[in-house]
Structure 1
């Protein structure tokens, strides 16, 4: 029996290229033709490998969640304290103001805004992303409370939920081109939740 025709593309690379496009333009703002151009896939290859635009988007959300949370856990391991990790994570939003092409925000939170409650599968993936971010922040709070850098005695999960919401708000301000002074003020107010 003759061997099947070998794939002429690398699925993980195509997935990353699609993720970058969705991250920049959103789901509705990304056409199938743009996906094919960005990934170099034929229509049949995209459907055979990923099942279509919607399924590809779901895979991209999962890929993004894994990429971001892996980087967050690594930064937490290397941080001098739990609070230092949280401060550094929030301050990274300011750097997004200077990204060429403009700030993209967070693909998970952008998707929550774009989709609302209209798609159960996407909502499940968005919640998984938010839960993953919350888990890292909760561990950072526990570490900070143990090392004395966070004096608030509030429950780590409650503070972590507040920090995820704060991060989303800061990214929204950056995307709205708010002044750096006002973003810094909002950032410092968010950090005050860590003080007892």
Structure 2
């Protein structure tokens, strides 16, 4: 049975809502922002605006997990068979391939973790918000849903945002897309 798409505004993704609909859903005001008491309630409800730190695996475990692969098992079994047949060169080549594969995988995982750390540190540490009708500079981890964030040229975006108004907005997405030039939004 095929159901028609929901017309409930709560099911609509943020990017598909108009600015006024987003403000209404978040019970916020574009001219005054949120009241300080409401910010405190939302901060208690949603927690700080920060990415959770991923659990770190020790290096020895990361290295060991490079050997947990069906292809590696097959190569180790082939190395055992060639060793039993006293074909030492074949055994050495197979074991060498297993070790080289493990080292390359270990290094690549380390680089990937470093890249994720770099992205996490790229987030802005402060943001200009409109709260209680006044502009304030707050720590980015104190942002809550419904905050009106004011961005200026060169600012880093401190959170997922719904743009209400913009003039000549361009974003540098090089880290995400590899594009070397900022793109128009």
TM-score by length of 1: 0.25
Q: Which of 1 and 2 has greater Rg?
A: 2
**Bigger relative contact order, structure 1 or 2, given CA contacts below 8 A and separation 6+?**
2
Structure with more strand by fraction: 2
